Amino acid sequence: MNTYRSIDEALYEVADGTVIRKKRNLVIPAVVMVVGALIAAFSDRIDIFFPRVDLAAALMLSGGVLCITGLINLIVDATSKTGVPVFAETGEKLQRHQLFYDTHKKGELCNCFESGDFSKLSKIDKSSVSAVILTVYSTKSGSMAMAQVSEFVPHQFVPVTGIKMFRGEEGRQARGLVAEVA
């Protein structure tokens, strides 16, 4: 039985309040909904400027579609439990990166990861096969990074190390590791 939780599952719980979930802004869908309702409501008044019935019908349909689109986006965004992971101290978004390695590199990868030796870690050959994955969440500036090594067992990836957090210089080194590949 695996004793480690996946970094994707435990991202917000690992370091009390260090990573927060930022929800999407609700203003844009609300504005789209209101604009759509206004276009639909005043579409029959267009004959004052342009005496064409088909233009009024097209505006009514377009306004209705905009209104419904805005309403659906507003409901989805307001009730969604998902969000963008953000480093609370700086407000920077965390980006998710994955580095792939062959199975026979697992021991060396885990040892370098656990010791925090990024110079050795960067020299381990990457692979196009996702047998062993190093998952890294980091800010663009490298002020903070979180990482974990996982191995593919039939039908799923199972963590083989705990989640490690890197800040300051270590965070920049972790960011540099994924920036080499990107």
pLDDT in tens, the chain (182 residues): 568 888 888 777 776 777 778 888 889 999 999 999 999 888 877 766 666 667 788 888 999 999 999 999 999 988 887 778 888 888 888 888 998 998 888 888 888 888 888 888 888 888 888 889 999 998 888 888 899 999 988 888 889 998 888 888 888 888 888 776 65
- Rounded to whole angstroms, how far apart are CA atoms 10 and 158? 14
**pTM beyond 0.85, yes or no:** no
Cross-strand partners of 100? 133
Q: Where are the domains of the chain?
A: 7-22+84-181, 27-79
